[in-house]
Amino acid sequence: MQINSQIFKAYDIRGIYPTDINEENIAIVIKAIYVFFTEKISNDRQLKVVLSYDMRLSGDSLFAVAKKTLVDLGAEVIDTGKLSTPSFYYTVSHYHYDCGIQITASHNPPQWNGLKFVINSPKGLIKIGKSTGMDMIKEMSQKTITYTPKYKGLLTPKNNILPDEVKSSLQMLNNPTIKNFKIVADPANAMGATYIEALFNAVSATLIKMNFDLDGNFPAHQPDPLDFTNLESLQNRVIEEKADLGLAPDGDGDRLFFIDEKGQVVSASMITALVAREFLKNNPGETILFDIRYILTPSKIVEENKGKSLITKVGHAFITEALNASGGIFAGESSGHYFFRDTGNAESQLPIILTVLKVLSEEGKTLSELVEEVRRSFESGETNFKVTNANEILETIKNIYKDGELSEIDGISISYNNWRFNMRTSNTEPLLRLNVEALDKNVLDEKVKILKDQITNVAK
């Protein structure tokens, strides 16, 4: 059968159920992934493949097909049931399994589903994306795959993952003493609820739960914290409860946004700077990574704390790949992904939450005070333009700002002494994305307005 080639994205496989992804074609894709695994890892022993899924309505049936397909191919399937994506990564890395497949569509609407998949390696997890094998899997999925199983497949249930994950996260931070904070969390009826609940079963806190029941219909709101309208009820609740902070993970739990005690959304780059500062206290000289969109605050904090900075392309698979190559200790992405060397260079939100709580406990300051303490710049937030001539716009803007310092790591980034911007096309949607930052808020506002007008004048 013909599979829509558009489901093979830069970092994962994702499409609408049952049009693009269904019980029939997922078996073909799973077979392609497994053959890819055998070629990259080994065909001379039985592979241990972690298989998990999230709360999406189509998840149960797709998981059942994936499980049967892998067993029929001769794998030992490590059946974890429902897991967040960070817990899935933890399972593959911590227990030293060969590889894994997570059935999820992240923050997308209810009718979507998809696959994220990884290989374990001595340097860390290898997420399969555009630069690490996605095109090969796409090609195999479009033709008849010949593969003769060498082993009798089997199922191995895996339980008690979350208590181990919490314990590992506490050990990463030397089992810090945490004050009893009041915390409001809204995981939007999605997978972040699982690790947040597990964490605060082990760490003392007053946890106020919003939308914790897993429900793939997402009855409260979309599980997408990048759309700040989805955070309004959480922001209001933090203020009403006089809470210390709020937590907002996305659908599969691999992104996380913080709300401060004033009900304001904390930008991810400020959290990156705060965590980088904390890690560099005991690990001077280590490398901290962050993506190209916002670099002024993190890079300055890393420099002040005697660390090294490395700027990456946007995208969780690219960042994990860069961590594997660099040996960096920590990475933060502007969209709320956070990565640690100690978690196989993959996302883990538990150490992020614990680090913030540790610093709050030790310094006796509010979250908003800590943010202002590390702030070295101001950010516009991402503006998206739906256009059909993105390349023309990029060339036009590049020419207008040809006196600035140009980087083409991802799209175009142009820097001046007191401000900079990044403009890039989306890896997953037909959008042109603009991010601007400056050392002065007035300069930021001025440059954002000018850039928006310049883009609009050329856009088609």
- In angstroms, the CA 33 to CA 49 distance is 11
CA angle (358, 213, 50) in 5-degree steps: 75
Q: E strands along 396-445, which residues?
A: 405-407, 412-415, 419-425, 431-438
Q: Which residues contact 296 (CB under 8 A, 6 or more apart)?
A: 376, 377, 420, 437, 438, 439
- Length of the chain equals 460
Alpha-carbon Rg for the chain, nearest whole angstrom, is: 22
Q: Terminus-to-terminus CA distance in the chain, angstroms?
A: 36
Number of Cβ atoms within 10 Å of the Cβ of 175: 10
Amino acid letter for position 411: G
Both tokens of residue 232? Answer: 């309004």
Burial class (CB in 10 A: 0-12, 13-18, 19+), 255: buried
- Beta pairing partners, 203: none
Tokens 């994220």 appear where? Answer: 116
Q: Could you confirm whether 106 is annotated as catalytic? A: yes
Rounded to the nearest 5°, which phi and psi values hold at 184? -105, 130
Rounded to the nearest 5°, which phi and psi values hold at 279? -70, -35
Is there a cis peptide before residue 18, judged by omega within 30 degrees of 0? yes
Tokens 């992804």 appear where? Answer: 21
Listed residue (325, 291, 329, 292) closest to 307, CA to CA: 329
Tokens 């000018």 appear where? Answer: 450
The alpha carbon of residue 137 and the mean position of all alpha carbons in its chain are separated, in whole angstroms, by 22
Listed residue (293, 313, 250, 311) closest to 11, CA to CA: 313
Catalytic residue among 58, 84, 106, 326: 106
Catalytic residue positions, numbered: 106
